[in-house]
Amino acid sequence: MFATVAIVGAGPAGLLLARMLHNAGIDSIVLEHRDRAYVEHRQRAGMLEQGTVDALRACGAAERLDREGLVHHGIELRFDHQSHHLDFPALTGGRSVMIYAQTEIVKDLVALQLAEGGPLLFEAEAIAIEDDMLTFVRDGVEEKLGFDFVVGCDGFHGISRAAIPDARVYERDYPYSWLGILADVPPSCEELIYAHSDRGFALHSMRSPTVSRLYLQVPNDTDPDDWPDDRIWDELDARFAVDADWKLMRGPITQKAVTPMRSFVTEPMRHGRLFLAGDAAHIVPPTGAKGLNLAIADVVTLAKALQHWFTTGSPDLLNTYSDTCLRRVWRAEHFSYFMTTLLHRAPDQTPFDTRLQLSQLHRIADSRHAAAELAENYAGLP
Ligand code: APR
Ligand code: PHB
C-alpha cells in the first residue's frame, strides 16, 4: 500500500488534514486505531475560534456547523457573587466564537471523507514509523504503508511523537481535575460562565439549545461514582451563586467523567518526512478551550506547506512548519495556564493567593485593556 501522505489518527486534526489535501489534489490514507462510533462520540470542548470556523468553511465542511452552531459574542466571568460580561466584538475589533460540539465536527468530517475522500481505515493501529514506511495492524494482521510524508495526528497517547529523536519536552501537571457532565436541560445562560469561588472552579457550557455541558473542579483521582447527581447539582449551585436573579436549571445527567489537566509541548514538531499535529504535539488544560483550535491551526499550516511543496517544489514552508506552529502553541499554552491558575483553587492555596486571583479578576472587570487581553486570546489571535 502507498499514500503520498499517510495520516495517523482520525481526530479533528487528521480528518481535516485529509479533507484539505483531498481538495488540493494530494492523496492520503487515514489510519484510526478505534472504531467509527468511538471517535464520533468522544466528548471534548466545542468552542471554535473564527479561524477554525473559516478553515472548516474553506474546505466545505461547515454546512451543518453554519446551521446549528451557536454564535457567542462573549463570556461571563463570575467571582465574588458578581457577574461580568466580556463583550468580544467590542474588545477585539469584531471577533466572536462559535459553539459546536467536537463530536459533530468529527461526524461531519468522517461523512465527507467516506463519501468523497481517500481511504479512512478504522480499527487500524499504527505500531511503527520508519523512514518511508509505516506498519499497522488491522484484523490482527500486520500491513505496510509506504509514503512520501507521514503526519502524526494520533493525539497525546499516540506513537508518532516517539519517532522524533532528541525531542525536547516541556510539561506541567495541575493538582486538580474536571468532573464534566452532559445534561438534558436547556443551558441556564446565553454565554459560557467561568466561575471562581471559594469552593473551586465551575464552568457552564452547552452543546445545543437543549443540552448543557457543565464542569466542576475536583481533586485528582476523583471517582465519578462518588458524585451522585444531586451532589453535582448542589455543588454547581454553590459555585455559581450570584447576587442576581439567576437560577441553574437541573435535568437528567446523561454522562459523567473526570479529566486530568495538563500542559505539554514537544519540540520540534517535525523530523524529516514526519510531522506532528494537534494533541500529538501539545496539550493545554481545557480552561481556555484552545485544544481543538490549536489542532486545526496546525493542519491548516501543514496543508498549505505540503501544497506549496507539491506545486512549486519549494521546501520553505515545510521547513518553517514547526516554528510557525510553536509560536501559536506557546501563546495558547500561556493563556490556558493563565486562565487555569486564575480561576482554580489549588489544594495548598493560601489567602494571599486568593487575594491575587481576585485582584486580577477585578482588573479584568474594570480595565478595558485587561479585558481586551483576555478577549483577544480567547477569541483567537489571527
Ligand atoms: N494508530 C492509529 N490511530 C491512533 C493511534 C495509533 N497508534 N494512536 C492514537 N490514535 C488515534 C486515536 O484513537 C484518536 O482517534 O488518534 C486520534 C487522535 O485524535 P484526538 O485525540 O482527537 O487528537 P487531535 O485530532 O489532535 O484533536 C485535538 O482533541 O483533546 C482534544 O483538546 C483537544 O480538541 C482537541 C482535539
Ligand atoms: C466545553 O464546552 O466542553 C468547554 C467549553 C469551554 C471550555 C472548556 C470546555 O473552556
Mean local confidence (pLDDT), 10-16: 98
How far is the centre of ligand 2, averaged over its atoms, from the C-alpha of 45 (Å)?
4
- First-to-last alpha carbon distance for the chain, in angstroms, is 39
Average pLDDT over the chain, rounded to an integer:
97
32, part of any domain: yes
362, part of any domain: no
377, part of any domain: no
43: number of Cβ within 10 Å: 16
Q: Look up the domain containing 331 and give its range.
A: 2-45+100-171+262-339
Q: What pLDDT digit, counting tens, does each position of 187-198 carry?
A: 999 999 999 999
Q: What's the CA gap between 280 and 163, in Å, rounded?
A: 11
CATH number at residue 275: 3.50.50.60
Q: Is the CB of 46 under 6 A from ligand 2?
A: yes
- Rounded to 10 degrees, the C-alpha dihedral 206/55/19/267 comes to -90
161, part of any domain: yes
Burial class (CB in 10 A: 0-12, 13-18, 19+), 123: middle
- Please report the pLDDT score of residue 23 as a whole number: 97
Q: Which residue CA neighbors atom 5 of ligand 2 most closely?
A: 45
231, part of any domain: no
- Please report the pLDDT score of residue 45 as a whole number: 85
The x, y and z cell numbers of residue 199, run together, are: 469552593
Q: Look at residue 263 and give its three-state secondary structure.
A: strand
Q: Given ligand 2 and candidates 72, 203, 206, 256, which is best to mutate, with the most ligand atoms within 8 Å of its CB?
A: 203
Closest ligand to C-alpha of residue 47 is: 2
- Please report the pLDDT score of residue 132 as a whole number: 92
* Residue 43 pLDDT grade (very low, low, confident, very high; cuts 50, 70, 90): confident
Number of domains in the chain: 1
CA nearest to 16, candidates 120, 156, 100: 120
Ligand 2: atom nearest CA of 288 is: 10
Q: In the 8-state DSSP scheme, what is residue 71?
A: E
- Please report the pLDDT score of residue 286 as a whole number: 96
Q: Are 48 and 97 in contact (CB under 8 A)?
A: yes
Q: In the 8-state DSSP scheme, what is residue 122?
A: S
140, part of any domain: yes
Higher pLDDT, 382 or 204: 204
Predicted TM-score (pTM) of the model is: 0.97
- Please report the pLDDT score of residue 297 as a whole number: 98
Q: What pLDDT digit, counting tens, does each position of 44-99 carry?
A: 888 999 999 999 999 999 999 999 999 999 999 999 999 999 999 999 999 999 99
- Please report the pLDDT score of residue 55 as a whole number: 97
- Rounded to 10 degrees, the C-alpha dihedral 324/329/334/337 comes to 180
- Please report the pLDDT score of residue 46 as a whole number: 87
* Residue 180 pLDDT grade (very low, low, confident, very high; cuts 50, 70, 90): very high
CA nearest to 275, candidates 241, 234, 309: 309
Ligand 2: atom nearest CA of 287 is: 10
Q: Are 176 and 185 in contact (CB under 8 A)?
A: no
Q: Is the CB of 289 under 6 A from ligand 2?
A: yes
310, part of any domain: yes
Instruction: Please say if the pLDDT value at position 181 is more than 80.
Output: yes
Q: Are 95 and 50 in contact (CB under 8 A)?
A: yes
Specify the amino acid at residue 159.
Answer: I
Q: Quick one: residue 230, left, alpha or beta (phi over 0 = left, psi -120 to 50 = alpha)? A: alpha
Instruction: Please say if the pLDDT value at position 382 is more than 80.
Output: no
In three state form, how does the secondary structure of 228-270 look? CHHHHHHHHHHHHCCCCCCCCCCCCEEEEEEEEEEEEEEECCE
How far is the centre of ligand 2, averaged over its atoms, from the C-alpha of 317 (Å)?
32
Mean local confidence (pLDDT), 327-344: 98
- Please report the pLDDT score of residue 124 as a whole number: 98
326, part of any domain: yes
Q: What's the CA gap between 121 and 332, in Å, rounded?
A: 32
Closest ligand to C-alpha of residue 291 is: 1
CA nearest to 50, candidates 380, 358, 283: 380
- Please report the pLDDT score of residue 52 as a whole number: 97
| Percent of all residues in the chain with a pLDDT value above 70, rounded to a whole number | 100
The x, y and z cell numbers of residue 182, run together, are: 452532559
- Please report the pLDDT score of residue 40 as a whole number: 97
User: What amino acid positions are annotated as catalytic residues?
Assistant: 72, 194, 286, 290, 378
Residues near 165 by beta carbon (within 8 Å), at least 6 away in sequence: 271
Q: Are 269 and 167 in contact (CB under 8 A)?
A: no
Instruction: Please say if the pLDDT value at position 381 is more than 90.
Output: no
